[in-house]
Amino acid sequence: MLISPQKLAVNVTEIRSRIDAAATAAGRDPAMVNLIAVSKSQPAESVRVAATLGVTDFGENYVQEALAKIADVGDPKLIWHFIGRIQTNKTREIAQHFAWVHSVDRIAVARRLSEQRPFHAAPLNLCLQVALVAEPNKGGLPPAALAETAARVADLPRVRLRGLMCVPPIEPNLEAQMGMFSRLAVLLAELNADGIALDTLSMGMSADFEAAIAAGATQVRIGTALFGERRDPLDR
């Protein structure tokens, strides 16, 4: 559904103030929390309107849809984040058209992204997706595999490992949500203690971004609360 520019402006203002309030309440600098507007299943026109409101970062899950939209919007200042499941035969297009990939969960994909990143482009920023709870049909590395994978990805030449990402199961209340997100923060601290310098915790969506910010999120990925319901609300 196409959201009106007026309603999108209201939503952007409201989400920004909720981000600021959650950061301030946690004793954090709101400038350290970056908003990624998840524009999957939304038209290019909504991205253009969001960009006029100062939104710079957009998240997409499907390669074909994203490439068409990136070309249609045609704004080289925007920063595009790939956040969906990665098929091996799509890595070249991802490496060419995105600045960030949040959903890397195997070394073979990271290696391909590094090999296929164009030489004239800056290194591709990567996050490793962690499955805090093992769920079928959902991506993510088991926490036990993280240290070795991170060490190997950090050595690849054309990518830059920045941090960790998660899409935890929906939890009923703020405490349960925070418990989940705090586990990702602990895993990041362990990697940093091992000497792999990371600065990014990509966590928190429309339903739980305040808990994620309280637990240390540096990037929140928000779709529905900005753009309204997607055609398929289960599309995540």
Ligand X SMILES: *Cc1c(COP(=O)(O)O)cnc(C)c1O
Q: Bridge partners of 85?
A: none
Please identify, among the stretches 73-81, 153-161, 189-197, 199-207, the one whose residues bind ligand X according to the rule CB under 6 A. Answer: 199-207
Q: With binding defined as CB under 6 A, does residue 221 bind ligand X?
A: yes
As a whole number of angstroms, the longest Cα–Cα distance in the chain is 48
| C-beta of residue 229 within 8 angstroms of C-beta of residue 1 | yes
Q: Which amino acid belongs to residue 97?
A: H
Q: With binding defined as CB under 6 A, does residue 236 bind ligand X?
A: yes
Structure tokens at 154: 């950090």
Q: Per-residue x/- mask for ligand X, residues 164 to 183, rule CB under 6 A?
A: ---x----------------
Q: Per-residue x/- mask for ligand X, residues 53 to 92, rule CB under 6 A?
A: --------x---------------------x---------
* 105-144 residues near ligand X, rule: CB under 6 A: none
Q: Which of 5, 131, 224, 228 binds ligand X (CB under 6 A)?
A: 224
- Alpha-helix residue ranges (DSSP H) falling in the chain: 5-25, 44-52, 63-73, 91-97, 107-116, 146-154, 174-193, 209-214, 224-227
Query: Whose Cβ is closer to ligand X: residue 151's or residue 176's?
Result: 176
Structure tokens at 50: 């969001």
CA atoms within 13 A on the CB side of 18: 20
Query: Whose Cβ is closer to ligand X: residue 170's or residue 197's?
Result: 170
CA atoms within 13 A on the CB side of 23: 18
Please identify, among the stretches 65-73, 104-112, 149-157, 215-223, the one whose residues bind ligand X according to the rule CB under 6 A. Answer: 215-223
- Interface residues toward ligand X, by CB under 6 A: 38, 40, 61, 83, 167, 205-207, 221-225, 236
